A = this chain, B = another copy of it.
């Protein structure tokens, strides 16, 4: 039993002031970055500009984000963190590929609506900025590496199966990249507007579509291996 004063859902109050300030700075930076980048393009905005609008020193910026690309893809990084958490808490039973698939969709589902908005913006930027696409792909490869490590620790560690674990992680991420790219391509024009109109009756790009794309892609994995000319 916890005391009443200790709210456990989204408790922002009990956090030390210092921590709250940090969150606010981080949030302000990533929010302003998305806004500026969408407005004028990733390349056209310099870090000095971004840093000026948030009224923070450039030195401080790099205490929060490790690169200009990182602040634009923060939402994706959060997804990967959640994904890895899901996997860490999942029980490894049955086909491992199914577990990875389930963890990924669970991660996507568990993000809040704030995240969804930022993620859409990020993917919009990625779609029109090669540099960001590279950074995003790299992040997926890094995550894949982490997955392989985690699986390697938790499954039997025979050297023979090590190749299979690495391959499995690769394949799982391949499914993500394929699904995400398909999903982005289908929405290049319709979505990703700088100022998102809130309640457009039109069918907007939702995370449900993304999850559908993921499911469909995972389902196509088996066929792909044996694809005939």
Contacts and interface: CB of A to CB of B under 8 A. Distances in A.
Interface of A: 92-97, 99, 134, 137-138, 141, 155, 161, 163-168, 170-171, 174-175, 177-178, 181-182, 216-217, 220-229
A170 B7 CA distance: 45
A213 to B, nearest CB: 9
Contacts of A228: 94-96
B178 A226 contact: no
Number of copies: 2
Contacts of A95: 226-229
Nearest to A181: B166
A166 B178 CA distance: 7
Nearest to A166: B178
B178 A220 contact: no
